[in-house]
Amino acid sequence: MNTGNLTPTDLERQAMRAVTDHARQLAEEGHDIIFTAAIVKDGRIIAQARNEAADTNDVSRHAEVVAIARATDALATRDLSGATLITSCQPCEMCLATMRWARIDRVIFAAQQENTKPEFFRFPGLKITDYHAACDGCFDWHGGLDEDRVAHIYAQEDDA
């Protein structure tokens, strides 16, 4: 399995711990849709979020999109160049494109597409390597960090 082309920093590892803690907590509380994310920038975690699609009746409110919106709100700019997106589960196509609209070029996720349910993706035939190639490597990525902490939440039925 291709786990990407970057090595997480200590801060990014700390942010992933917070993101996976958040997902595990939501799972323990019995939530239906459990995806969490954070934005790291300028040496700190500037935003954290969970999926809010059901709460807002807005399909676009995935954890990553909410975290990005909180970060652009906090910094009063739509340009998050230099930030890292940290997510509990590999971002779907919508979230990956949203990340790039915010000029984020670094993404780290725990659960990898190959180990999760097909319904978490809308164009399942396309992999992150396809998106990476389709923009001439415009972002760096790493998959599988702390995956063991959340794998049970996103696992395919066969693996559960």
Closest to a copy of itself by CB, 65 or 145: 65
64 is catalytic: yes
CB 132, CB 108: distance < 8 Å: no
Q: Which of 12, 52, 64, 147 is catalytic?
A: 64
Out of 102, 107, 108, 145, the residue judged to bind a copy of itself by CB under 8 A: 102
| Cα→Cα distances 99→56, 90, 114, 131, 152, Å | 20, 12, 21, 12, 26
Which residues have CB under 8 Å from 153's CB, separation 6+? 23, 24, 27, 34, 88, 111
Tokens 């935003």, residue located: 47
Give the CA-trace dihedral at 31, 157, 110, 86, to 10 degrees: -40
From residue 52 to residue 91, the character string flagging contacts with a copy of itself as x (rule: CB under 8 A) and all else as - is -xx--xxxx----x--xx--xx--xxx-------------
98 lines the binding site for a copy of itself (CB under 8 A): yes
Contact residues: a copy of itself, CB under 8 A: 53-54, 57-60, 65, 68-69, 72-73, 76-78, 92-94, 96-98, 100-102, 122-126, 130-131, 133-136, 138
* Active site amino acids: 64
